[in-house]
Structure 1
Amino acid sequence: MIRTGQQYKESLSPDRQIWIDGERVKDVTAHPQFAPIVGIRARIHDLAHEAATQDVMSYADPATGERHSVACKPPLTQRDWHDKRAAVDTVLDEARGVVTRVGDETVGEMWSLLDGQRVLDELDPRFSANIRRHVARSVTDDLFHVSADTDPKGDRSKRPQDQDPDLLLRVVRETDSGIVVRGAKYETAAAYANQAFVKPAVADWGGTELSEYAAGFIVDMNTRGLKFLCRTGFAGRGKAEDYPLSHRVDEIDTLVVFDDVEIPWEDVLFHRHTEAAALLRTTLHRYSALPFTHRTLRLADLMIGAALWNVRQTGLERRPAVREKLAQLACYRESVNAHLTAAIAMGTTSPGGLFMPDQSLLHTGRVLACSQLPQMTHLARELCGGQICVTPDSASFADPEAGRWLEKFYSIDENWVADDRRKLLAFARDLLNSDYAGHRLTFQLFAQGPPFAQLAAVYHAFDWSGPLDLVRDAAGLSDRVRGPERD
């Protein structure tokens, strides 16, 4: 059944070994750097209970009548994807910013493995049964599910065995109960999630078919032996009035250490088979690329809104040069939206029976969204102007003496008074120009995968036969002409 926000908070064991800023965290739900994002994740559960949003965030199972999360529902139709996009928009509206790792974007990675059941059956029939059970459990148990695949890596010119072998997570032994793993993985939101899908990264798995590094499994984040080493959060730096996004929607990234953690056999999805690992790496974002790219669409909307309000309050909206820049932002936004919409419209049935967005349109849309994001961010900075980096903080505006002068120089007319201008400039600064803004821009290389992996997905998804046949016919080439096939 759908959990409440309080039930989600109670599911986070106080015994977790979590560190941030050099201190052990006693209560992740109350710690000042975690509390805002934990609160947003709790709100996602509560939104499924509230009358105004229940039907957007949840659905009634036709067989049992029980309500389940729209986010975790395996997609069977186009309608399911439209429902998922509506649920994401509801969450982002509630957050008043962009939150990425809240579950809906990572549960799709398990659906990709569901499509690979044939390969899993060839390795061990238990593995395909395990993935089916975990996909079903993600629906019925309303768990906050995240994903872990990036290792510390070490020296990438060497095999894992030729350096500290634990730099890539590996299986160190098997027991009657399961496998024992050692190493570490980076994962956003791990410290306050319920479970994670752990899998190999894009890396050398040791050069052997039966590699100890080629393992995928589900891990309960309350499991003994896990240690959570978190980066410093942005909440608490400065005041919320000056950095509204940093204090509201910062998601904490974590190095999760597996200190000889035992994974029960029923939670192992594949083990010691590089074929399964390679299959997963090529299909990993088959579904999850859509909600990830959807977040970039929302980020584009925030940039357009911040830029447009800024040029309006200074009376520059009618200038042709300003309109050209706004039009460029609009083209970017609509191009991302067009790819998402078309990917759903042109979707097909996957090998596992799910409704799969058109892969070529989806992955090219993701490349477009990510590759142009730095340029669009700077364009929005230009439109907002230099005031986002020179405006004094809220305390100065509130000071009786300094505030009198700031009121004079920041008020334009009865529609744009100093306080509203300060709020707009503070929001734009945090969105485009703060430490948090820089972090979010770089975060795309982690959350969405590196550019080479994104382009590799495009290469494997694009239908090259159409252009080849077109040129064969236009150039009058004979049917004898052949080239090396793609791998």
Structure 2
Amino acid sequence: MFKPIVDIRARIYDMAHDPKHSSVMSYEEGGERFAVGLKLPYTQQDWHDKRRSTDTVLDEARGIVTRVGDETVGEMWSLFDGREMLNDVDPRFAVNIERHINTVLRNDPFHVSANTDPKGDRSKRPQDQDPDMLLHVVKETDAGIIVRGAKYETAAAYANQAFTKPTIANWGDDKLSDYAVGFVCDFSSPNLRFIARTGFAGRAPAEDYPLSNRVDEVDTLVIYDNVLIPWENVLFYQYTKAAQFIRSTLHRYSAFAFVQRNQKLADLMIGAALWNVRQTGLEKQQAVQEKLATLACYREGINAHLTAAIATAEPSPAGLLMPNQSLLMAGRVLACSQLHHMMHIARELCGGQICITPDYASFRDPEAGKWLEKFYTLNDNWYAEDRRKLLAFARDLLNSDYAGHRLTFQLFAQAPPFAHLAAVYNNFDWKEPLRFTKEAAGLSDRVYGPQNFAAAAK
């Protein structure tokens, strides 16, 4: 069950050295080559290069893989932007983040993300229940901090390390908390336990479930049973201000690669639906074209947000170039909130046969196969085998256990929907709508005068 995704991650490394892909997957600096996906973004071209690199990986995988490294390293850049805040907390932490970013750049480890805890009873503070429900520090030593708890981490069982940080938690008014901790965890550390969910690969033949057997990413509950985190790997500790900062800026960069995958997922849905209506001769019907156009609007809406986010990119506090935050976060809401609607439209266009078609073995059976060959052959261009392959692919993309898992994953993988909308609220520029409406409605300067305007806009 690990093998397919491990093979893809290995292929990503190989692509950096493959003459066919090396110019897309890597760049040269100081006589050495480095991974494009891990490069610190300083220019719009850097973002165009990253986008092209990710598309190339997904094309090579022939499906959507999310936790492969390029979309998680951006979370480290968000903390890099908070160096001044980290210096105020403890000067060691800012040095640590710079060192880890340079290590990632030079060594290209498989770096993943650790966000979500089991959480327990969320009506209670973490201190008022089993303390291990949220990862926390239990002891300080000269060598580092000792942590206990657990995190759900996709790809952890076959990755090198994770940026581990607090979930959205209730600290109350505490300025210091043992739950407000962020660090890089080396997955070879003692006292780590990995409990992986059952993967989809191998459950059924690849001929019937091509995506489940090729691109499933196995999620793991990582248990920290008194794990030592060396001080040089600690990025922030105790100060809830630092924890709140990283939660509010965590997806400043990583959301781009995440949303880009929704665009590629839209391509797969459009392709499956369009091939089906072409096979069955329904492409010219207006009702069919309207549904295809709806899928296309969804896809191009995502594309427009990503393209505009690069075109109007903004300098970050650390001098990096971050995608326009309002556009990027609004694009994420569009991509995630409308995905289930688009999947249902794609199901309609693929028709009921995606849920009733017999399996590959039936098509190969001497008795049943001849009848299936007859009824699944459409015309001189579309024979039964291509019809079967398309229906099996569409079923796995839209109807299978894997499809349901991916839908939920896309909804929650970066943050829950309320946090998506909160990011839009916190990044949208409210001043211009207020100014325009004030002038159009003739509102009094007593309320929205120049001296009050900035406060009102906030």
TM-score by length of 2: 0.98
For the residue of structure 1 that corresponds to 2:66, the secondary structure is coil
Amino acid at match of 1:49: H
| Cα distance in structure 1, aligned partners of 2:418 and 2:331 | 15
In structure 1, how many angstroms separate the alpha carbons of the residues matched to 2:281 and 2:294?
19
Q: Which residue of 2 aligns with 1:419?
A: 385
Q: For residues 271 and 486 of structure 1, do their structure 2 counterparts lie closer, same or farther at Cα, with a shift above 3 Å needed?
A: farther
Which amino acid is 2:23 matched to?
Answer: D
Q: What is the DSSP-based 3-state SS (H/G/I as helix, E as strand, rest coil) of the residue aligned with 1:237?
A: coil
Which residue in 2 is equivalent to 1:59?
27
1:40 corresponds to 2:46 = no
**CA-atom RMSD in angstroms:** 1.0
1:150-202 per-position Cα deviation (integer Å, ceiling 9, x unaligned): 00000000011111001000000100011000000011000001110000001
**Residue type at the aligned position of 1:175:** T
What is the DSSP-based 3-state SS (H/G/I as helix, E as strand, rest coil) of the residue aligned with 1:97?
Answer: coil
Cα distance, 1:207 vs structure 2: 4.5
Distance in 2 (CA, whole Å) between partners of 1:463 and 1:453 is 18
Q: CA deviation at 1:273?
A: 0.4
Question: Hey, what does 2:55 align to over in structure 1?
Answer: 89
Report how far residue 486 of structure 1 moved: 7.2
User: Partners in 1 of 2:199 and 2:457 — Cα distance?
Assistant: 44
Counterpart among 110, 119, 123 of residue 153 in structure 1: 119
2:199 to 233, 237, 243: 233
Of 328, 344, 348, which aligns to 1:382? 348
For residue 60 of structure 1, give the secondary structure of its aligned residue in structure 2.
Answer: strand
Pick one of 391, 394, 399 that aligns with 1:428.
Answer: 394
- Alpha-carbon distance between aligned partners in 2 of 1:167 and 1:60, rounded to the nearest angstrom: 45
1: CA distance, partners of 2:32 / 2:77: 22
Partner in structure 2 of residue 101 of structure 1? 67
SS at match of 2:379: coil
> What is aligned with 2:95?
129
CA distance in 1, matches of 2:423, 2:393: 35
1:205, distance to aligned residue in structure 2 (A): 3.1
C-alpha distance in structure 2 between counterparts of 1:257 and 1:430, whole Å: 32
Matches of 2:247 and 2:457 in 1, distance apart? Answer: 17
SS in 1 for 2:176: coil
Decide whether the 8 Å contact of 1:234 with 1:436 is kept in 2.
yes
Deviation string for 1:323-359 (max 9, x for gaps)? 0000000011001000000000000110011011000
Deviation at 1:472, TM superposition (A): 1.1
Q: Is the 8 A contact 2:337 2:411 kept in 1?
A: no
Does residue 457 of structure 1 match 2:416? no
2:342 aligned with 1:368, yes or no?
A: no
Partner of 2:325: 359
SS at match of 1:212: strand
Match of 1:193 among 159, 180, 190: 159
- The separation in 2 between residues aligned to 1:59 and 1:221, in whole angstroms, is 28
Assess if the C-alpha contact under 8 Å between 1:290 and 1:362 holds in 2: yes
Asked if the contact 1:171–1:215 (Cα under 8 Å) also holds between the matched residues in 2, the reply is yes
Letter in 2 for 1:134: H
Q: After superposition, where does 1:112-127 map in structure 2 within 5 Å?
A: 112-127=78-93
List runs of 5+ in structure 2 lacking aligned partners: none
Cα distance between partner residues in 2 of 1:133 and 1:479: 51
- State the match for 1:245 in structure 2: 211
The whole-number CA distance in structure 2 between the counterparts of 1:459 and 1:283 is: 13
Deviations 1:369-397 (A, max 9, x none): 10000000000000000000000000000
Alignment-mate amino acid for residue 63 of structure 2: G
Report the alpha carbon displacement of residue 53 of structure 1 after superposing the two structures with TM. 0.2
Please tell me whether the aligned partners of residues 304 and 330 of structure 1 are also in contact (alpha carbons under 8 angstroms): yes
AA partner of residue 50 (structure 2):
K
Q: Give the partner amino acid of 1:463.
A: D
Structure 2 letter corresponding to 1:405: W
> What amino acid sits opposite 1:52 in the alignment?
K
Q: Shift in Å at residue 442 of structure 1?
A: 0.6
Distance 1:205 1:152 in 2: 16
| Pairwise CA distance, 1:479 | 2.3
1:162 maps onto 2:128 in alignment: yes
Runs of 4 or more off by more than 2 Å in structure 1?
Answer: 482-487
Kept in 2: contact 1:206–1:213 (CA 8 A): no
- CA drift of 1:448 comes to 2.5
Q: Is the 8 A contact 2:430 2:457 kept in 1?
A: no
Distance 1:150 1:238 in 2: 30
Question: 274-283 vs 207-216, which deviates more?
Answer: 207-216
CA contact (8 A) 1:316 1:322 kept: yes
Secondary structure, aligned partner of 2:444: coil
One-letter amino acid of the structure 2 residue matched with residue 181 of structure 1: V
Give the Å deviation of 1:267: 0.5
* Structure 1 position 414, deviation (Å): 2.2
| Aligned equivalents of 1:306, 1:412: Cα separation in 2 | 17
* Paired residue secondary structure (2:432): helix
* 1:86 positional shift: 0.6
Q: Is the 8 A contact 2:96 2:235 kept in 1?
A: yes
Distance 2:252 2:235 in 1: 18
Asked if the contact 2:176–2:239 (Cα under 8 Å) also holds between the matched residues in 1, the reply is yes
* Partner residue, 1:209: 175
**Is the 1:160–1:206 Cα contact (8 Å) retained in structure 2?**
no
2:291 matches 1:325: yes
Secondary structure, aligned partner of 2:139 = strand
- Amino acid across the alignment from 1:300: A
The offset of 1:49, in angstroms, is: 0.4
Q: Distance in 2 between matches of 1:373 and 1:87?
A: 24
SS at match of 1:452: helix
Contact 2:434 2:457 in 1 (8 A): no
AA partner of residue 254 (structure 1): T
Matches of 1:354 and 1:160 in 2, distance apart? 35
CA drift of 1:238 comes to 1.0
* Gaps in structure 1 of 5+ consecutive residues: 1-32
Letter in 2 for 1:456: A
Cα drift, residue 480 of structure 1: 2.2
CA distance in 1 between partners of 2:188 and 2:13 (Å) = 20
What TM-score do the two structures reach when normalised by structure 1? Answer: 0.92
Contact 1:121–1:127 (8 Å) recurs in 2 = yes
Cα shift at 1:478: 2.5
Which whole-Å CA distance do the structure 2 matches of 1:191 and 1:42 have between them? 15
Residue 281 of structure 1 is matched in structure 2 by 247
**Paired AA for residue 216 in structure 2:** D
Query: How far 1:415 moved relative to its partner?
Result: 1.0
Q: How many residues align?
A: 453
Amino acid at match of 1:341: T
